[in-house]
Amino acid sequence: MNSIQPSVTLRPMTGEAGDLESALELSRAVGWAYRLDDWRVAQSLGQGILAEENGQVIASAICWPYGDAFATCGSIIVAPAMQGRGLGRSLLAHLLQSTGSRAVMLNSTAVGMRLYESFGFEATGTVHQHLGQVSAGTADAERGRWVRKANAEDLQTLLQMDRQAFGADRRRMIEEFNLIGSIAVIERAGDIQGYAICRPFGLGQVVGPVIACGAEDAKLLIEHFLRVNAGQILRIDTGGDSGLRDWLTAQGLLEVSSVTTMIRGHRPQITGPHRIFALASQSFG
Ligand SMILES: CC(C)(COP(=O)(O)OP(=O)(O)OC[C@H]1O[C@@H](n2cnc3c(N)ncnc32)[C@H](O)[C@@H]1OP(=O)(O)O)[C@@H](O)C(=O)NCCC(=O)NCCS
């Protein structure tokens, strides 16, 4: 693949242990709490690039295409000592070649925004990371009577719900999360009206995506995972307009950081009554 400076090469990121461990070192160097398995999942669902110099991995970036019209990208990291040399720009240019005519969405840290703006990304909203240790007895079990664990027959329904709320098909991602985590659905009179996934990630567990018709149903789904994860560290990434931020804080999940959602192109239309109340992750959208 292309070179930036003669000493630097870009190549595809593989799922081999060496690449995942190098990526883990990068994320640690910039203070991100990824685990090796988080990189494995991210790599296996997307298309990654690594930059190398003298046999050392010095930067990473991944995109996740969802069909022909939409993609997200993230895990864009340049080792601190290598920043400011044009690597971030070069990695992003490569990613955007592979996403082609798709609209591309990402969640930018403050330091990434100028770079993304220079490629035509525009800010469209904010995402707030809430994190905390779940205390026992946080959620009232009676409120959870509509919520149950998903079973295999629910999968098609929730895939369709997700496709309408996200605007593109995330089947592979949801199937992978089903293997590593657990899915809850909200059902009334035989009708599935929302779903949420909880899986190991970073410092503990993450709840997301949470897809529901309204904030009250989203809370019921999240409460289910608060009940089953007492004592654990739980993370939720929620949009600035979700209506959940004060409630999450009251549950002991404090806001620890925020990022800016940026889009290049037009996101596919969202249809149906369901909305996204928590992201799968800042990378996956
Ligand atoms: C964001 C990051 C990937 C940029 O990589 P980089 O190799 O340093 O960036 P480049 O040298 O290619 O510079 C690209 C553009 O970014 C902007 N930029 C670079 N350093 C910056 C800084 N410290 N603050 C704000 N903007 C900055 C500039 O606009 C620059 O373009 P220009 O030099 O033509 O003006 C890198 O700083 C990084 O890894 N940060 C920590 C992890 C992170 O926050 N990643 C972004 C996740 S969305």
Residue 133 and residue 97 share a domain:
no
Question: Closest Cα to atom 48, ligand 1: which residue?
Answer: 108
Ligand 1 centre to CA of 112 (Å) is: 5
Give the binding-site residues of ligand 1, using a 6 Å CB cut-off. 30, 76-78, 83-89, 106, 108-109, 111-112, 114-115, 118
The percent of residues above 70 in pLDDT, for the chain, comes to: 98
Q: Identify whether 112 is part of a domain.
A: no
Q: What CATH number should be reported for the domain holding residue 17?
A: 3.40.630.30
- pLDDT tops 70 at residue 139: no
**Token pair of 44 as six digits:** 């296996």
Question: Closest Cα to atom 24, ligand 1: which residue?
Answer: 111
Q: Identify whether 227 is part of a domain.
A: yes
CB 211 within 8 A of CB 162: yes
Q: What is the mean pLDDT of residues 277-283?
A: 98
Structural domain count of the chain: 2
Ligand 1 centre to CA of 107 (Å) is: 14
Residue 157 and residue 70 share a domain:
no
Residue 269 and residue 162 share a domain:
yes
Q: Identify whether 107 is part of a domain.
A: no
Ligand 1 centre to CA of 148 (Å) is: 44
- pLDDT tops 90 at residue 211: yes
d(CA 31, CA 42): 18
Burial 225-262 (b: 16+ CB within 10 A, else e): bbbbbeebbbbbbbbeebbbbebbeebebeeeeebbbb
User: For ligand 1, what atom is nearest to the CA of residue 77?
Assistant: 39
pLDDT, residue 138, reads 59
Q: Identify whether 123 is part of a domain.
A: no
Residue 241 and residue 168 share a domain:
yes
Domain that holds residue 264: 129-278
Q: Identify whether 114 is part of a domain.
A: no
**Omega before residue 6 within 30° of 0, cis:** no
Residue 256 and residue 202 share a domain:
yes
Pocket test for ligand 1, best of 62, 115, 259 (most atoms within 8 A of CB): 115
Q: What is the pLDDT of residues 228-275, one digit of tens each?
A: 999 999 999 999 999 999 999 999 999 999 999 999 999 999 999 999
Final residue in a domain of this structure, among 86, 101, 116: 101
Q: Identify whether 237 is part of a domain.
A: yes
Ligand 1 centre to CA of 88 (Å) is: 6
Question: Closest Cα to atom 19, ligand 1: which residue?
Answer: 84
Q: Identify whether 182 is part of a domain.
A: yes
Q: Identify whether 283 is part of a domain.
A: no
Outline where the chain has alpha helix (H): 17-29, 36-45, 87-99, 113-117, 155-166, 171-180, 215-228, 245-250
Residue 246 and residue 183 share a domain:
yes
Residue 259 and residue 136 share a domain:
yes
137: left (phi over 0), alpha (psi -120 to 50) or beta: left
Final residue in a domain of this structure, among 101, 121, 142: 101
CB 75 within 8 A of CB 48: yes
Pocket test for ligand 1, best of 4, 94, 111, 126 (most atoms within 8 A of CB): 111
- pLDDT tops 50 at residue 2: no
Please provide the average confidence, as pLDDT, over all residues in the chain: 95
Burial 22-59 (b: 16+ CB within 10 A, else e): bbbebbeeeeeebeeebbbbbbebbbbbbbebeeebbb
Residue 143 and residue 188 share a domain:
yes
Ligand 1 centre to CA of 78 (Å) is: 8
Ligand 1 centre to CA of 172 (Å) is: 31
Place of tokens 């596919």: 268
pLDDT, residue 274, reads 97
User: For ligand 1, what atom is nearest to the CA of residue 85?
Assistant: 11
Task: Give first-to-last CA distance, the chain, whole Å.
Answer: 28
Ligand 1 centre to CA of 256 (Å) is: 22
**Is 115 strand, coil or helix?**
helix
Q: What CATH number should be reported for the domain holding residue 200?
A: 3.40.630.90
Residue 151 and residue 91 share a domain:
no
Residue 150 and residue 262 share a domain:
yes
**Cα–Cα distance list, 96 to 90, 110, 176, 180, 217 (Å):** 10, 20, 25, 29, 37
Residue 135 and residue 68 share a domain:
no
For helices 155-166 and 171-180, angle between their N-to-C axes, nearest 10 degrees = 130
Give pTM, 2 decimals. 0.95
Residue 167 and residue 81 share a domain:
no
Final residue in a domain of this structure, among 63, 83, 101: 101
